[in-house]
Amino acid sequence: MSTLAASVTEICAAARAAGRALAQVDAGTKDRALAAVAEALVERTPEILEANARDLEAGRADDLGAALLDRLALDEGRVAAIGAGVRAVAALPDPVGEVVDGRRLPNGLSLRRIRVPLGVVAVVYEARPNVTVDAAALAVKSGNAIVLRGSRSAAQSNAVLTRIVAEAATGAGLPARAVSLVAGGGREELADLATQDRFVDLIIPRGGEGLKAALSAVATVPVIYAASGNCHVYVDASADPDSAERIVVNAKVQRPGVCNAAETLLVHRDAAPDVLPRVLGALRERGVQLRVDGRAKAAAGEALAGTLLDATEEDWDTEYLALVLAVRVVDSVQEAVEHVNAHGSGHSEAILTEDLAAARAFQLGVDAACVYVNASTRFTDGFEFGMGAEIGNSTQKLHARGPIGLRELCTYKYLVEGDGTARG
Amino acid sequence: MSTLAASVTEICAAARAAGRALAQVDAGTKDRALAAVAEALVERTPEILEANARDLEAGRADDLGAALLDRLALDEGRVAAIGAGVRAVAALPDPVGEVVDGRRLPNGLSLRRIRVPLGVVAVVYEARPNVTVDAAALAVKSGNAIVLRGSRSAAQSNAVLTRIVAEAATGAGLPARAVSLVAGGGREELADLATQDRFVDLIIPRGGEGLKAALSAVATVPVIYAASGNCHVYVDASADPDSAERIVVNAKVQRPGVCNAAETLLVHRDAAPDVLPRVLGALRERGVQLRVDGRAKAAAGEALAGTLLDATEEDWDTEYLALVLAVRVVDSVQEAVEHVNAHGSGHSEAILTEDLAAARAFQLGVDAACVYVNASTRFTDGFEFGMGAEIGNSTQKLHARGPIGLRELCTYKYLVEGDGTARG
């Protein structure tokens, strides 16, 4: 169980010991513990809502905006949903012990590479208290101890949620202190946590560029940034216009505040006269602000001309996370690939085309975690990809790229068995 | 081709562009280019030996020791062996494009996860000039551009080798500047290289703790340390004494200067009276200095008593890389696991036992890249493991653990194909 008064180092050292024990716990015990956690969350809902009410009160006194207060707020339904999420994680296959590959070596040694937990994972996150439980469930399932560091605004809710999770898990036979919360949301605690490389194997920050900058300046623990997405949809010369309209609107409008939403539309010059008037018209109808280059403006037609803004170089590099879209006409799929590789963040990129050669050139050429053909960028997500859940989405290339699920919270080790075998 | 006068940034930016092109080159072209490299190395041997002679002359003038001079020296046989190594890498399967896994999602999307090159890899290494070619061949085969940074003492040899590799590769159709050398072996160039995160995806340092410390202080590029090994052999109560003698001697003596050699021997108290006199005697015959705890001294017997030194706490944490071995008696396999996890570096650990439960407890409990049962720690190696080659050996848990071969020089991307699919 977390001790709020404990130092960050003491918490992380205890997590290291708990992680060593948890790595050896069988899947049945872990799943029963997660079921107990889900049950405890529902049973102790009044306790959770009371702590949450104190956070909300403090938030209103601090003039938190309505959107932040909504993200912070829990009610019976939301707590029940958090519990259901824990049960869903318990139902996933255990990644630990999975044999990744193996062979018999010429000298007779048997070699197996098996998935094992990383050890201790730290997750740094902002307002939403549900992350406390979601992240803890993924960590427990993957055999990792977890150190949580939430925001100051959710301190009471996170403390109660962590206590309930830790008590239920320990009660069901998991090692004590496998789930802990670092109290205090300040930069000092963050720096303290990010330098515990003796005890912590990985930090996953879930937050904006400010958090990323604060961490990269100090971290000695390896970090995987659940990072921003400057995603593109490229409409090729041969794209089906109906499909293009549906997918571009989906990629921009369905949920504009998330990292897999599209931020720039690229259109082949041959498709522009047909596609741009209807696609841009459909976007304008849904309130999207359009920042277009000269050729896109020319192709958009008279009806829209008054509503279009001129794009600047900066627009190609901006993740709006809002109902804003940059639009550019390109001469070829190669130019689209170059634009994406120059300005994209390596998250999710889509080509819409009927032409196999163009699809192949785009998929081969684009350097990103997820490359789509005739589908919306919005599908990049651990649930959608069949991984069951995710703790974030990586745009890094090392270790985990794309959704970070249970397997990505593991490393591997080689088990090698001989018969008194020495090297010649 | 590398331009010695170019700045580190300019070299890395050119490597990024070359890497983007190289990622799309088919396996046949890459293999033909590697064959051309092997041929050019043999053909241009006189040029290589002339440059090497200048390095050796400078080394003698700088009073380099005999061992360092030997590591630096090339002759016709060594150059031929380097060429043969390049052909061996060419003969390995291409990791690029390999489908790691995939599935059809409930919404009809087809999802494939495929292996793709990281992009640009930097390798920082010390005296041996053969690393220049070995590392370049592994990079080319895995579709990565490479930036090499060798030591000042091998500057002339490395420059000629890099030029030959780059010219042959470009002549055979690979992108220009896929293989480059950073001139100058100073700390400034190292810091310059380690902060090129826009252009370099990974740095692999091959060298001692000094190099590691110099890098971790400044690097913003992700680093995988080809790190030290404080490896243990644990002789369980039930171990076969013949086998124990053979494996302990092999693990310590066969090649004491490498990272997978054993540095500490742990012996179960019940095995100590039988095993220690003969094993320690065999080690003493081979000139191994023994640093033992009190119980090991007592069990070793009269004949050896005068030759044993007392181990201190520091010995448990020391990687000798020499004919020195620390020896300790433990009460159980659990105590052995705890000792290994407290003092080991997570490289290679072995248990010698006839007891299945002990083997299982050790393999489950030890947190290391490679855990052996009844075999020598000396097998940890990309060639031995059937990976064909390695660029180093990682004791980190993220991305690559154990031997770093062709697959470990890759990342992956998800390719997702739909039919006009939007997210509901």
CATH number at residue A373: 3.40.309.10
Is residue A1, in this structure, part of any structural domain at all? no
Token pair in block for residue A121: 């994972």
pLDDT exceeds cutoff 70 at A5 = no
**Is-contact B183 B150, C-beta < 8 A?**
no
Phi, psi of A22 (to 5 degrees): -65, -30
Chain A residue closest in CA terms to B239: A420
Q: Are both A21 and A152 inside the same structural domain?
A: yes
Q: Which amino acid is at B365?
A: G
Average pLDDT, chain B: 94
Is residue B386, in this structure, part of any structural domain at all? no
CB atoms within 10 A of CB B388: 18
Is residue B354, in this structure, part of any structural domain at all? yes
Query: Average pLDDT for residues A214-224, to the nearest whole number?
Result: 87
pLDDT exceeds cutoff 50 at A3 = no
Query: Average pLDDT for residues A320-326, to the nearest whole number?
Result: 96
> For B397, which DSSP code?
S
By the CB < 8 Å criterion, does A29 face chain B? no
What is the predicted ipTM? 0.93
Percent of chain A surpassing pLDDT 90:
86
For the ranges A19-33, A262-276, B149-163, B195-209, which has the lowest average pLDDT? Answer: B195-209
Query: Average pLDDT for residues A270-280, to the nearest whole number?
Result: 97
pLDDT digits (tens, 9 = 90+) for A43-96: 999 999 999 999 999 999 999 998 889 989 999 999 999 999 999 999 999 999
Q: Are both A106 and A185 inside the same structural domain?
A: yes
Give the span between the Cα atoms of A233 and A236, in whole angstroms.
10
pLDDT digits (tens, 9 = 90+) for B311-361: 999 999 999 999 999 999 999 999 999 999 999 999 999 999 999 999 999
Is residue A315, in this structure, part of any structural domain at all? yes
CB atoms within 10 A of CB B305: 10
Per-residue pLDDT band at B2 (split at 50, 70, 90): very low
Give the span between the Cα atoms of A389 and A391, in whole angstroms.
7
Q: What is the pLDDT of residue A185?
A: 64
Yes or no, beta carbons of A419 and B374 under 8 Å apart:
yes
- Give the number of A-B residue pairs with CB atoms closer than 8 Å: 196
Higher pLDDT, A186 or A102: A102
Give the span between the Cα atoms of A134 and A124, in whole angstroms.
13
pLDDT digits (tens, 9 = 90+) for B180-221: 999 876 778 889 999 999 999 999 998 777 888 888 878 889
By the CB < 8 Å criterion, does A223 face chain B? no
pTM > 0.80: yes or no = yes
Q: What is the pLDDT of residue A4?
A: 46
Q: What is the pLDDT of residue A210?
A: 80
- E-strand ranges in A319-369 read 324-330, 348-352
Is residue A392, in this structure, part of any structural domain at all? no
Which residue among B109, B220, B398 places its CB closest to the CB of A375?
Answer: B109
Q: Are both A210 and A252 inside the same structural domain?
A: no
Q: Are both A356 and A413 inside the same structural domain?
A: no
Query: Average pLDDT for residues B240-251, to the nearest whole number?
Result: 97
Q: What is the pLDDT of residue A1?
A: 41
Q: What's chain B's Rg over C-alpha atoms? A: 24
Per-residue pLDDT band at A6 (split at 50, 70, 90): confident
pLDDT exceeds cutoff 90 at B293 = yes
Give the span between the Cα atoms of B152 and B280, in whole angstroms.
42
Q: In 3D, which of A394, A406, A410, A381 has the Cα closest to residue A138?
A: A406
Q: Are both A67 and A203 inside the same structural domain?
A: yes
Higher pLDDT, A186 or B194: B194
pLDDT digits (tens, 9 = 90+) for A28-40: 999 999 999 999 9
Query: Average pLDDT for residues A256-260, to the nearest whole number?
Result: 91
- Which chain A positions have a beta carbon within 8 Å of B118's beta carbon? 397-398
Q: In 3D, which of B180, B20, B168, B16 has the Cα closest to residue B90?
A: B168
Which residue among A374, A398, A423 places its CB closest to the CB of B202?
Answer: A398
pLDDT exceeds cutoff 90 at A184 = no
Distance from CA of B367 to the nearest CA of A (A): 8
- E-strand ranges in B53-207 read 99-104, 110-117, 120-125, 145-149, 179-181, 202-206
Q: Are both B76 and B213 inside the same structural domain?
A: yes
Q: What is the pLDDT of residue B1?
A: 41
The boundaries of the domain holding residue A359 are: 231-379
pLDDT exceeds cutoff 60 at B32 = yes
Per the structure, the count of domains in chain A is 2
Which residue among B103, B243, B371 places its CB closest to the CB of A386?
Answer: B103
> For A173, which DSSP code?
T
- Which chain A positions have a beta carbon within 8 Å of B393's beta carbon? none
Give the span between the Cα atoms of B229 and B349, in whole angstroms.
10
Which residue among A378, A385, A399 places its CB closest to the CB of B398?
Answer: A399
Q: Are both B277 and B190 inside the same structural domain?
A: no
pLDDT digits (tens, 9 = 90+) for A134-145: 999 999 999 999
pLDDT exceeds cutoff 90 at B386 = no
Q: Are both A262 and A200 inside the same structural domain?
A: no
By the CB < 8 Å criterion, does B332 face chain A? no
Chain A residue closest in CA terms to B254: A423
Which residue's structure tokens are 């741009």? A276
By the CB < 8 Å criterion, does B374 face chain A? yes
By the CB < 8 Å criterion, does B338 face chain A? no
Give the span between the Cα atoms of A359 and B394, in whole angstroms.
37
Which residue among B254, B380, B413 places its CB closest to the CB of A370?
Answer: B413
Q: Are both B31 and B176 inside the same structural domain?
A: yes
Which residue among A107, A220, A402 places its CB closest to the CB of B414?
Answer: A402
Q: What is the pLDDT of residue B185?
A: 65
Q: What is the pLDDT of residue B172?
A: 97
Give the span between the Cα atoms of B18 and B30, in whole angstroms.
13
Query: Average pLDDT for residues B164-186, to the nearest whole number?
Result: 93
Q: What is the pLDDT of residue A325?
A: 98
By the CB < 8 Å criterion, does B367 face chain A? yes
Give the span between the Cα atoms of B229 and B262, in whole angstroms.
8
Q: Are both A103 and A24 inside the same structural domain?
A: yes
DSSP string, B169-182: HHHTTPPTTSEEE-
CB atoms within 10 A of CB A28: 10
Q: Are both B238 and B143 inside the same structural domain?
A: no
Interface of B with A in 235-274 (CB under 8 A): 240, 242-243, 246-247, 249-251, 254
Q: Are both B257 and B282 inside the same structural domain?
A: yes
Q: Among the ranges A119-123, A190-194, A387-391, B148-152, which has the highest mean pLDDT value? A: A119-123
pLDDT exceeds cutoff 60 at B98 = yes
Is residue A396, in this structure, part of any structural domain at all? no
Identify the CATH number of the domain in which residue B105 sits.
3.40.605.10
